[in-house]
Amino acid sequence: MILKEFLKLTEGLSKLQQTMILEHVLQTDCSKIFLDLNFQFTDSNTRAIQAILKKLKTLQPLEYILGHAYFYNAKFQVNANVLIPRSETEVLVNYAIGLQPQTILEVGTGSGCIICTLAHELESTLLIASDISKPALQVAKSNAKLLRVKNIDFQEANLLGNLTLPKQIDLLIANLPYVDPDSYVASSTKLHEPHLALYSEEGGLNHIRRLLEQVQTSITEFTNILLEFGYGQEQEIQVICERILPQYDLTFFQDFNSVTRFCHLKLKNV
Ligand SMILES: C[S@@+](CC[C@H](N)C(=O)[O-])C[C@H]1O[C@@H](n2cnc3c(N)ncnc32)[C@H](O)[C@@H]1O
């Protein structure tokens, strides 16, 4: 197979996905390969490419097939126990970095893409990350090792229940499941990504509501809370936040596509 044939076979994929396949198969930086349309793959490379394309036909996400995904310019291991990191979430991470928190708790860490990036970008003194899923925590721990971030305390917990926390935390950050079980979800996501990471009852808002109720009764004081939520959930999120946490100021912010997808709750008078 030559590059021109590969590009024809993968024309439905993005340039990033095509590059990910080539880098995986050739085990080298492929930035220059696109300049030579007649680049000849070896027989074994051709077989490897064909095997990947065959799996893609079954709607397996490319990131699970290759075992990694990119987030904030870093490579994260992923498997079917964790959600594939989404680029929108990078906006949430950027916002969190702007707050310069010294102490951070991430609830629902999955692959660890949020907490590992924050650990890498900030000199925070205390970083805790939790998930209800043991296999997800294993992936997050392994990503922390790969990225050489050593200072994260990973804990298995159902939201804030049974977490060991200090009395005050600068930032609680969470991208919890928020998909309404009755809503449309792309087939590859529905078939292959963990339902534990996707779906939440009450139209997708059960996890966020429960988390905020636990914040209200927690002996830990959270100065800032950052949440990611789904398309069109802004109004319901506003109602929930104002009802459960009236002692916080609420602001919303948008992702790269101008979709309101995040909120910032800031404790008043601090
Ligand atoms: C939408 S994924 C986000 C993963 C990762 N933080 C990211 O942004 O890519 C939600 C994560 O929350 C975890 N989760 C689901 N229910 C939970 C619960 N009750 N308590 C803690 N974590 C939970 C899932 O296992 C999953 O890893």
**161 exposure class (CB count in 10 Å sphere: 0-12, 13-18, 19+):** exposed
* Residue 73 in domain: no
The answer to whether residues 42 and 128 belong to one domain is: no
Distance between CA atoms of 31 and 40, rounded to whole angstroms?
Answer: 16
Range(s) of the domain holding residue 24: 3-57
What integer pLDDT is reported at residue 249 of this predicted model?
Answer: 98
What integer pLDDT is reported at residue 28 of this predicted model?
Answer: 84
* Residue 219 in domain: yes
Q: Is ligand 1 within 6 A of the CB of residue 83?
A: yes
Across the range 151-173, mean pLDDT stands at 97
Q: Is ligand 1 within 6 A of the CB of residue 165?
A: no
The answer to whether residues 88 and 175 belong to one domain is: yes
Which among 193, 226, 196 is positioned nearest to 89, based on CA atoms? 226
The protein residue with its alpha carbon nearest to ligand 1, atom 6, reads 109
The answer to whether residues 95 and 224 belong to one domain is: yes
- Check whether 94 has a pLDDT greater than 80: yes
Mean pLDDT of all residues belonging to the chain: 96
Determine the residue of 175, 201, 205 to mutate for testing ligand 1's pocket, defined as the one with the most ligand atoms within 8 A of the Cβ atom: 175
Residues 189-247: tens digit of each pLDDT: 999 999 999 999 999 999 999 999 999 999 999 999 999 999 999 999 999 999 999 99
The answer to whether residues 52 and 90 belong to one domain is: no
At 90, list the tokens. Answer: 């990078």
CA of 260 to the centre of ligand 1 (A): 20
* Residue 63 in domain: no
The answer to whether residues 187 and 98 belong to one domain is: yes
The answer to whether residues 17 and 102 belong to one domain is: no
Q: Is ligand 1 within 6 A of the CB of residue 78?
A: no
Across the range 149-177, mean pLDDT stands at 96
* Residue 67 in domain: no
- Check whether 270 has a pLDDT greater than 90: no
The answer to whether residues 24 and 113 belong to one domain is: no
Across the range 165-177, mean pLDDT stands at 98
For the beta carbon of residue 39, count every other beta carbon within 10 angstroms: 17
Greatest distance between any 2 Cα atoms in the chain: 66
Determine the residue of 79, 87, 93, 132 to mutate for testing ligand 1's pocket, defined as the one with the most ligand atoms within 8 A of the Cβ atom: 132
Which among 63, 90, 77 is positioned nearest to 193, based on CA atoms? 63
The answer to whether residues 106 and 220 belong to one domain is: yes
* Residue 72 in domain: no
The answer to whether residues 102 and 51 belong to one domain is: no
* Residue 69 in domain: no
What integer pLDDT is reported at residue 268 of this predicted model?
Answer: 96
Determine the residue of 154, 156, 196, 228 to mutate for testing ligand 1's pocket, defined as the one with the most ligand atoms within 8 A of the Cβ atom: 196
* Residue 44 in domain: yes
Q: Is ligand 1 within 6 A of the CB of residue 108?
A: yes
The answer to whether residues 120 and 245 belong to one domain is: yes
Number of domains in the chain: 2
Question: Side-chain half-sphere of 260: how many Cα atoms within 13 Å?
Answer: 12
The runs of H, that is alpha helices, within the chain are 3-9, 15-26, 43-57, 62-66, 89-99, 113-121, 134-146, 187-192, 195-198, 201-204, 206-217, 234-244
What percent of the chain clears pLDDT 90, i.e. is strictly above it? 92
Closest atom, ligand 1, to C-alpha of 108: 12
What one-character-per-residue DSSP string does 85-150 give? PPTTHHHHHHHHHHH--SEEEEES-TTSHHHHHHHHH---SEEEEEES-HHHHHHHHHHHHHTT--
The answer to whether residues 49 and 142 belong to one domain is: no
Residues 49-81: tens digit of each pLDDT: 999 999 999 999 999 999 999 999 999 999 999
* Residue 64 in domain: no
What integer pLDDT is reported at residue 180 of this predicted model?
Answer: 97
CATH of the domain at 160: 3.40.50.150
